[in-house]
């Protein structure tokens, strides 16, 4: 990645300047490392700022209620084009491309462009728990149950503190008549989140042979499109705000 190469080059130059000043190469090691690290942080923040500006534009366009499916699709198309501008930084900073692809996948999924969503998810970051959970829901709808479990397991690793991930995973398992597996998933979720009353209530419902109620997980639940909401929620509101996080 270019940012890393530039940073290393700066560090080497500083170390050599110290040596040419009459000191040993070892004396230039510490200032060289400091210069390299400082340069990398500066360049990474510059890229993150530019990406966040694109994310802000997307959020502003999606935060209001769409008037129709056509309007929703048009907004997503514009948002995708905006996000794709950030792909030019993929060679500059680690994880830029995968994070952007994950965001694109979520947008396409929420307007039921499932082919486009799956293509984006395949390139997306495994650390984006919401994208991986949506991929799991998509694979459930396509009856790819092995792929569904793989995607949800990835989501529970990066989003183990997010109740919605465990709940949607369990819901999909229940629909596939895998109640024992759903119980295990909710049990794991409660172990990770012992103070989460929603997960504990969901686990108790299954243990007492009752229906798993997803209302406590609204409005995030509606973004998965597995049940029809009373009214269509805003694509960018009431749920996980799209935020770019630079991972180094």
Q: 240, 130 in Cβ contact below 8 A? A: yes
Helices 145-158 & 163-175 angle (0-180, nearest 10): 160
Rounded to whole angstroms, the Cα distance separating 111 from 114 reads 8
Taking alpha carbons only, the member of 51, 87, 54, 101 closest to residue 246 is 51
The mean pLDDT of the chain is 87
| More confident: 195 or 28 | 195
> Rounded mean pLDDT of 10-28?
81
Q: 164, 221 in Cβ contact below 8 A? A: yes
Question: 219 preceded by cis ω (within 30°)?
Answer: yes
In this prediction the pTM is 0.80
Q: Which residues of 182-195 are buried (b: 16+ CB within 10 A; e: fewer)?
A: bbebbbbbbebbee
Taking alpha carbons only, the member of 89, 75, 103, 92 closest to residue 7 is 92
* Tens-place pLDDT, residues 26-40: 778 888 899 889 998
Q: What is the pLDDT of residue 240?
A: 41
* Tens-place pLDDT, residues 124-134: 999 999 999 99
**Token pair belonging to 73:** 């699709």
Task: Count Cβ atoms below 10 Å from residue 84 Cβ, excluding itself.
Answer: 13
Distances in Å between the Cα of 94 and the Cα atoms of 48, 134, 189 are 11, 23, 30
At CA 247, angle to CA 243 and CA 248, rounded to 5? 160
**Token pair belonging to 202:** 């969901």
* Tens-place pLDDT, residues 96-132: 889 999 999 999 998 889 999 999 999 999 999 999 9
Q: What is the pLDDT of residue 231?
A: 62
Distances in Å between the Cα of 238 and the Cα atoms of 145, 161, 175, 222 are 29, 19, 25, 10
Tell me the domains of the chain and their CATH numbers: 133-225 (1.25.40.10)
**pLDDT band, residue 242 (cuts 50/70/90):** very low
Q: What is the pLDDT of residue 235?
A: 55
Share of the chain above pLDDT 70, in %: 92
Q: Which residues are CB-neighbours of 185 under 8 A, at least 6 positions away?
A: 152, 156, 166, 169, 170, 173
Q: What is the pLDDT of residue 233?
A: 53
Residue 239 has pLDDT above 50, yes or no: no
């Amino acid at each position: 990645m270019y940012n890393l190469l530039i940073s290393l080059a700066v560090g080497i130059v500083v170390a050599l300047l110290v040596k040419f000043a009459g000191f040993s190469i070892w004396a230039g090691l510490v200032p060289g490392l400091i210069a390299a690290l400082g340069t990398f942080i500066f360049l990474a923040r510059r890229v993150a700022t530019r990406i966040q500006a694109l994310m802000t534009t997307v959020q502003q366009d999606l935060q209001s209620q769409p008037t129709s499916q056509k309007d929703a699709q048009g907004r997503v198309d514009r948002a995708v084009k905006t996000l794709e501008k950030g792909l030019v930084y993929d060679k500059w900073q680690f994880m830029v491309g995968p994070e952007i692809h994950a965001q694109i996948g979520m947008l396409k999924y929420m307007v039921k462009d499932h082919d486009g969503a799956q293509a984006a998810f395949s390139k997306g970051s495994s650390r984006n728990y919401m994208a991986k959970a949506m991929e799991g829901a998509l694979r459930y709808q396509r009856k790819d149950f092995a792929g569904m479990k793989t995607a949800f397991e990835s989501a529970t690793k990066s989003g183990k503190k997010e109740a919605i991930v465990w709940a949607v995973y369990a819901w999909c398992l229940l629909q596939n008549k895998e109640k024992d597996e759903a119980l295990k998933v909710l049990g794991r979720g409660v172990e990770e989140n012992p103070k989460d009353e929603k997960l504990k209530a969901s686990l108790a419902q299954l243990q007492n042979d009752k229906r798993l109620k997803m209302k406590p997980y609204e409005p995030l639940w509606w973004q998965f499109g597995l049940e029809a909401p009373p009214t269509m929620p805003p694509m960018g509101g009431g749920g996980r705000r799209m935020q770019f996080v630079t991972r180094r």
